[in-house]
Structure 1
């Protein structure tokens, strides 16, 4: 969990051998007022250590909590909590239908390390 350039993000998002190749293949952006990296990092540490429950305490709900701490602009109107929603369903339909201000999905190609 750190901040950095777009190229640094692409370098760090590499395929996970335990999952599908090129797990991350698209991204969406939203402009936010402010950005508190330290608050996001504290929330990341808390989320990392608070267990896992498939519907309401998973990778999606944890990511949403971290983003909300990063910027108060990411309220429920901009970023629904994601509970009970599969990540792929959230990324497309939920952000499109229920959240304001998000760009359409952009194709993403990670930088592969040899």
Structure 2
């Protein structure tokens, strides 16, 4: 399936839980596939970029049971360096990041997610394209900029969250730990843990 065909599958969301909509951010389940509305996840390769870390993104196609878009930017291990984006199930997304190696070691080791009351995949893809077209720059347009652009394009809730500081001047490792902590994202899930079944 081409990327265009995947984007064409994006459906307007079915009216979900009114209680969740009224509350704003939904209560987060333990696994990404359990998201009732919008959901985003940041994947982290802590040894990337000479120890500064490398970030990648995934966001759920809202209104679909299990369809995700996921990608990265500027990685020398998770090529191409110029950026990439794919679509598929949560299992496929998680497997991709689990299987990337840096030599013999696993490159990505964990991910953190948050649910949102909104989620616009077309806008997220547009923000991804804007960042990609600027060209990779280690300080002003890197993997963290790309991930945050995808998340903030996807969700107005995240875009307006003042706890999610600019990526400029931040390393992926620090952002993943400190900034996402303050923004109340879920705890880090280890990629070597077996995904739990949806209850």
Range of TM-score over shorter length:
0.7 to 0.9
Contact kept, 8 Å, 2:164 with 2:179, in 1: the verdict is no
Contact kept, 8 Å, 1:40 with 1:66, in 2: the verdict is yes
1:96 and 2:96 aligned: no
Number of aligned residues: 108
Superposed CA RMSD in Å reads 2.4
1:70 and 2:70 aligned: no
Aligned to 2:73: none
RCO greater where, 1 or 2, for CA within 8 Å and sep 6 or more?
Answer: 1
Contact kept, 8 Å, 2:163 with 2:179, in 1: the verdict is no
Q: In structure 2, do the counterparts of structure 1 residues 37 and 89 end up closer, same or farther at CA, with 3 Å as the change threshold?
A: same
Aligned to 1:21: 105
Aligned to 1:45: 129
Distance 1:82 1:43 in 2: 15
1:105 and 2:172 aligned: no
Q: Which runs of 5+ in 1 are unaligned?
A: none
Give the deviation of 1:94 after TM superposition: 2.0
Distance 1:73 1:85 in 2: 21
Q: Which runs of 5+ in 2 are unaligned?
A: 1-84, 194-199
Distance 1:20 1:80 in 2: 34
Which has the larger strand fraction?
2
